[in-house]
């Protein structure tokens, strides 16, 4: 079996969720957290390694809440996203207090990755279909034509909305199954008839709930990591933007690679419903959703029952 890894970005503070570490909030009937279900689905799809990207101060809590039981079913690595983790020749700007974004987060895993890998957010539930499709893409022989070949799970906008407030989504532009661009769209609200974008100037745009959006689930390769590392150096060397706030974002780099004809990104459509804990009020909905999935036989009552699940 070809080795593939699941990389989980879990270094975010989760300020909109309030106090506490939202990635470690129990939502399952047995005290499971969203990451339990993500890892379960990934292992079932064929992934066999898990990499947690976390804050160093959360390592002990992560091991206790999830890592110590996952190590019985998969190879587990921990890496740390840190503000001071910069390439040689660069220093942290005085006054900067937050890390450098999702691009830097994934780059932190470079030293433990020699295989193709999927990247996900820790606090998002993606469903089973996306893991199967991303895994199957990553284990195939990819073209060697001078371009980077990667993939992205595309979710229907209508399957990714919150009942409790606005969301930001990257609305995808797709031609012949390939991503041609992403439009970052903020303040998207669920409505009785669909979805709306509400701008600060008061204007409203109706959105097509069947549009595909990116939920930060990517299928990447070791070759991509080399480009990610080079891009981070270029980002840090660019004097534009506020050095205290600007972020090196994975979707923005991928968008530049597409526009520069340096990458082909295959969009893998999924019909599953995404959900996550963005707001405190979302937790009740997520708990109910997992309860229903268990009742319908999608998941066992205890994910890691008996000695330990094996795949």
- Per the rule left: phi > 0, alpha: psi between -120 and 50, beta: everything else, 173 is beta
For residue 224, give both structure tokens.
């991509």
What does DSSP assign to residue 93? P
Residue with tokens 């999935």: 293
C-alpha span between 304 and 28 (Å, rounded): 12
Q: One digit per residue, pLDDT tens: the chain, 311 residues?
A: 789 999 999 987 444 444 556 667 889 988 899 999 999 999 999 999 999 999 998 888 889 889 998 999 999 999 999 999 999 999 999 999 999 999 999 999 999 999 999 999 998 999 999 999 999 999 999 988 999 999 999 999 999 998 888 999 999 999 999 999 988 899 999 999 999 999 999 999 999 999 999 999 999 999 999 999 999 999 999 999 999 999 999 999 999 999 999 999 999 999 999 988 777 788 888 999 999 999 999 999 888 864 445 55
Residue with tokens 């990714």: 160
Cβ–Cβ under 8 Å, residues 100 and 48: no
Question: Is the CATH code 3.90.550.10 the one for domain 5-295?
Answer: yes
Cβ burial, residue 64 (10 Å; 0-12/13-18/19+): exposed
Domain extents in the chain = 5-295
Q: What is the dihedral of CA 20, 252, 145, 225, to 10 degrees?
A: -40
C-alpha span between 76 and 48 (Å, rounded): 9
C-alpha span between 259 and 64 (Å, rounded): 43
What does DSSP assign to residue 274? P
Residue with tokens 């520069």: 260
End-to-end CA, the chain: 12
Residues in a beta bridge with 124: 276
């Amino acid at each position: 079996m070809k080795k593939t890894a699941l990389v989980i970005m879990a270094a975010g503070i989760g300020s909109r969720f309030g106090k506490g570490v939202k990635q470690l909030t129990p939502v399952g009937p047995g005290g499971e957290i969203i990451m339990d279900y993500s890892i379960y689905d990934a292992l079932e799809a064929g992934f066999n390694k898990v990499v947690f990207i976390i804050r160093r101060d959360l390592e002990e809590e992560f091991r206790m809440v999830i890592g110590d039981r996952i190590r019985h079913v998969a190879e587990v690595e921990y890496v740390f996203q840190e503000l001071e983790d910069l390439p040689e020749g660069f220093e942290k700007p005085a006054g900067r207090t937050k890390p450098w974004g999702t691009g830097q987060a994934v780059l932190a895993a470079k030293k433990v990755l020699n295989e193709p890998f999927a990247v996900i957010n820790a606090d998002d539930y993606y469903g089973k279909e996306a893991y199967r499709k991303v895994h199957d893409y990553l284990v195939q022989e990819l073209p060697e034509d001078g371009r980077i070949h990667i993939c992205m799970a595309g979710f229907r906008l209508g399957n990714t909305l919150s009942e409790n407030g606005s969301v930001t989504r990257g609305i995808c532009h797709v031609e012949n199954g390939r991503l041609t661009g992403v439009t970052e769209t903020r303040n998207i609200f669920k409505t009785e008839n669909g979805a709306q974008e509400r701008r600060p100037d008061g204007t409203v745009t109706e959105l097509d709930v069947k549009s595909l959006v990116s939920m930060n689930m990517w299928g990447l390769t070791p070759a991509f990591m080399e480009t990610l590392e080079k891009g981070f150096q270029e980002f840090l060397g660019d004097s534009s933007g506020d050095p205290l706030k600007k972020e090196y974002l994975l979707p923005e780099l991928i968008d530049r690679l597409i526009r520069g004809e340096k990458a082909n990104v295959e969009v893998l459509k999924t019909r599953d419903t995404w959900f996550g804990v963005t707001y405190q009020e979302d937790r009740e909905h997520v708990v109910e959703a997992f309860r229903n999935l268990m009742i319908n036989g999608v998941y066992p009552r205890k994910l890691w029952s008996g000695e330990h699940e094996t795949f």
